[in-house]
Amino acid sequence: MIKRIKKILFFLILAAILITLAVTSFTVFFDQAIIARRDTIYRVPSSGKIVALTFDDGPSPDWTPKILDALKEENIKATFFMLGRHVEEYPDVARRVAEDGHEIGNHTYDHHVLIYYKTEELEKEIRDAQAAIYKATGITTKYFRPPKAWLTGNEKKQIRSMGYETILWSLNSKDWVTFHDKQITSYILRNIRPGDIILFHDSGGVFHTEGGNRKQTVKTILRLAGKLREKGYKFVTISELLNLQEKNGKP
CA–CA dist 226, 232 (Å, integer): 10
CB 141 within 8 Å of CB 108: no
- 100: annotated active-site residue: no
CB 51 within 8 Å of CB 236: yes
- 201: annotated active-site residue: yes
CA–CA dist 41, 169 (Å, integer): 8
Note the Cα 138 to chain centre separation in Å: 22
Q: Considering just the CA atoms, what is the radius of gyration of the chain in Å?
A: 19
Phi, psi of 21 (to 5 degrees): -65, -40
Catalytic residue among 56, 181, 196, 202: 56
* Opening angle at CA 10, ends 5 and 15, nearest 5: 125
Terminal C-alpha separation, the chain? 67
CA–CA dist 175, 179 (Å, integer): 6
CB 137 within 8 Å of CB 98: yes
Catalytic residue among 86, 201, 202, 208: 201
Active site residues per annotation? 56, 201
